[in-house]
Amino acid sequence: MTETSYTDVLIIGAGPSGLMAAYWMARCGGMLESSTNAAPSIGVVHRVLHEACEAAEFTFWGPGEDGQLKKQEQHPIHDVDISPFGNCLLNQGRIERFILDAIKDCSDLEVERGVIAESLECDETLENQGDAYPITVTLRTLSEEEANPSCSYGGSGGVRNGLLRNNITPDDWDDLLKTSKERPGNVETVKAKYLIGCDGAHSWTRKQLNIPFDGSTTEHIWGVVDMVPITNFPDIRRVCTVATEHGTLLIIPRERQLVRFYLPLQAVDSTSASLDRVSITLDMIRQKAKQMLSPFDFDFKICDWWTVYQVGRRLASSFTKGRIHLAGDAIHTHSPKAGLGMNMSMQDGFNIGWKVALVAKGIARPSILATYELERKRTAQMLIDLDRRLQPLFVKEQESDAAESTAASNDNETLMDVIQLSMAFANGYVCYYGPSSLVHKEGEGVAANLIPGERFPPAKVRNHADGQAWWTTRLFTSDGRFRIVLLAGDLRREDQRQRVSTFSTHLASAESVLQRYKPEGEKLDSLVEVITIHSAPVRDMDFSDFPEMLRLFDQDRGWAYDKIWSDDECFWDRQCTGKGYEFWGVDRVRGALVILRPDQHIGWVGNIEDVDRMTGYFEQIFQSPQKTLKAESNA
């Protein structure tokens, strides 16, 4: 007899997509208990910035007129007018550790390692019952031997075997093996309302669902190596493409003096591919790199990690089946050259996580789950197309086709375009989502640069109560709440004060979404938070000048000082320019009204008077409170 446990959501796989989805469970699980915590976004940015290498510039190298390698162009990677954050490069294991810590900081949610799923059943007759557990999964705890990674980790001198891709650093192994030590071989049955499969390119979950994974594997073998280079190549600490007669080398600087190389190793015919891959050694990669960087010296003694791979470009034909969703490599694979694999996977988890969490808790309608495939499949397809465009820039397609190949590898205009698209992807700005119940394409003419479906462009604004300057990304904490962002305009003007006063009076009324959907016993802002960003200078207004509904009073904690902000220049912070309204394309006097989804994507834009349409947005998303109560009482 095996033990049976019940859970709202089961996530299989604890890589970047699984952990991001788990983060939402941790936040939304606790959401109804404590919603006033002001953790910035998911609270890991400072750790990334501290440990990562920030890549500031990229350069193109190629043969000069004399055939010798020569720097051809150099560009900054980071446009401070578009994003506050630069291009940070850091070991995936560290990112996973930061998300794990963020989960631990806000919940008791358990992330188990060394456990595998062995069977999956789904009772389709139960799928339309909100509080049913239609999914049954059998889990088995691996023995210590099965779970123990056989590779040796690098650091100074050691070399990890490249064929096992393991991103966990030694500090985390104990954690990984804990469950195996405590109860090896244990078998457990889990009943779940929802399941998210984040179990990688060879996804067991996807296979159980018989979802086709369409695409093909290209005919090139690539090498990747993280090492501390010994070289006189002058741009070794910059992102570089080095075009040579042997193909194009991609150089990416990393933390701890490491540099990552991507290099094309050889063309293969499809039958012998996997055999060839295993025969490749670290020394073959070293020799190829030496050859490509010649006449510069190149070698290394310290290697942290290396692997050999073939590019498989595949896309799952569907991302969802009933109450089961797939995310990350389980639904899309592509080459790692654009450096977007982990980012794409995290975005998948970031997209599906809050939706499933809110639906499983009975707060949101199950219909919003259909937006997951709608939004992420288009993005995945775009990434695979981008990867296809990158390919010819890195390998000579055929030795015989020398003319075309040389053209491609020297055509920096094209490479530049493709690289800039990669950067936009990495910044998340290519994630513009189509119309759906979560994205209402309205509000034309109100805010030229606030586009429903896209992310809210970050600007630095000043807190009205204390004068501090914060990026808007930090204001919009990822805590599972929707946000009404009231761009209140210039409140020094009587007519504008009147408009905002009318809006606030609506918020306080029984018809407002705050009042209608507030769960019994919870605070007014537990599902939807109102954030005001006005355009008058901070010193022209008092905190107490703002309507009380915009700075909700709490019996224990007084007024909410973190709700009122000003798009005001801050002369001791050069990044806070007071030009947010212009950046967003919003009139400084009349302002605008914006709904942000929990993931910071814009759901709707309108004028301050458009309260009916604003309310209509939420009506399509939230369950009516009666239903919420019923679901809870049945659980």
Using CB under 8 A, list all residues that contact a copy of itself.
40, 43, 46-47, 49-50, 53-57, 74, 76, 78-80, 86, 156, 228-232, 234, 236-238, 253, 257, 301-302, 463, 465-469, 539, 542-544, 555-559, 561, 570-575
Answer for the pair 127, 322: CB distance below 8 angstroms, yes or no: yes
Integer CA distances (angstroms), 537 to 369, 496, 541, 561, in order: 42, 15, 7, 17
Answer for the pair 51, 235: CB distance below 8 angstroms, yes or no: no
Nearest residue (CB) to a copy of itself, 144 versus 542: 542
Helices (H) and strands (E) in the chain, counts: 18, 25
Q: Could you give the CA distance from residue 421 to residue 429 in angstroms, rounded to a whole number?
A: 10
Q: How far is the CB of 76 from a copy of itself (least distance, A)?
A: 5
Q: How far is the CB of 196 from a copy of itself (least distance, A)?
A: 29
Nearest residue (CB) to a copy of itself, 494 versus 572: 572
Q: How far is the CB of 562 from a copy of itself (least distance, A)?
A: 9
Q: Which helix (H) or strand (E) holds 80?
A: none
Strand ordering across the sheet containing 247-253: 69-76, 57-63, 239-244, 247-253, 259-267, 213-231, 298-316, 332-333
Answer for the pair 162, 305: CB distance below 8 angstroms, yes or no: yes
Q: Could you give the CA distance from residue 167 to residue 297 in angstroms, rounded to a whole number?
A: 30
Nearest residue (CB) to a copy of itself, 78 versus 323: 78
Answer for the pair 42, 99: CB distance below 8 angstroms, yes or no: yes
Nearest residue (CB) to a copy of itself, 80 versus 164: 80
Q: How far is the CB of 589 from a copy of itself (least distance, A)?
A: 24
Answer for the pair 235, 263: CB distance below 8 angstroms, yes or no: no
Beta pairing class for 332-333 and 213-231: unpaired
* DSSP 8-state secondary structure symbol assigned to residue 319: S
Residues 6 or more apart from 268 whose CB is under 8 A from it? 219, 220, 221, 276, 310
Q: How far is the CB of 360 from a copy of itself (least distance, A)?
A: 28
Nearest residue (CB) to a copy of itself, 56 versus 132: 56
Answer for the pair 263, 289: CB distance below 8 angstroms, yes or no: yes
Q: How far is the CB of 572 from a copy of itself (least distance, A)?
A: 5
Label each residue of 400-431 as H, E or C: CCHHHHHHHHHCHHHHHHHHHHHHHHHHCCCC
* DSSP 8-state secondary structure symbol assigned to residue 592: E
Q: Around Cβ 386, how many Cβ atoms within 10 Å?
A: 20
Hey, which residues does 69 pair with through a beta bridge? 63
Q: How far is the CB of 45 from a copy of itself (least distance, A)?
A: 8
Q: How far is the CB of 86 from a copy of itself (least distance, A)?
A: 7
Answer for the pair 320, 206: CB distance below 8 angstroms, yes or no: no
Q: Is 549 helix (H, G, I), strand (E, B) or coil?
A: helix
Nearest residue (CB) to a copy of itself, 229 versus 264: 229
Q: Could you give the CA distance from residue 36 to residue 34 in angstroms, rounded to a whole number?
A: 6
Q: How far is the CB of 161 from a copy of itself (least distance, A)?
A: 21
CA 147 to chain centre: 28
Nearest residue (CB) to a copy of itself, 177 versus 424: 424
Nearest residue (CB) to a copy of itself, 233 versus 433: 233
Nearest residue (CB) to a copy of itself, 237 versus 588: 237
Hey, which residues does 62 pair with through a beta bridge? 70
Nearest residue (CB) to a copy of itself, 204 versus 470: 470
Q: Which helix (H) or strand (E) holds 574?
A: none
Q: Is 293 helix (H, G, I), strand (E, B) or coil?
A: helix
Q: How far is the CB of 92 from a copy of itself (least distance, A)?
A: 20
Q: How far is the CB of 53 from a copy of itself (least distance, A)?
A: 8
Beta pairing class for 53-55 and 87-89: antiparallel
Q: Could you give the CA distance from residue 15 to residue 329 in angstroms, rounded to a whole number?
A: 10
Answer for the pair 221, 265: CB distance below 8 angstroms, yes or no: yes
Q: How far is the CB of 542 from a copy of itself (least distance, A)?
A: 5
Q: How far is the CB of 506 from a copy of itself (least distance, A)?
A: 24
Nearest residue (CB) to a copy of itself, 169 versus 468: 468
Nearest residue (CB) to a copy of itself, 181 versus 574: 574
Nearest residue (CB) to a copy of itself, 47 versus 165: 47
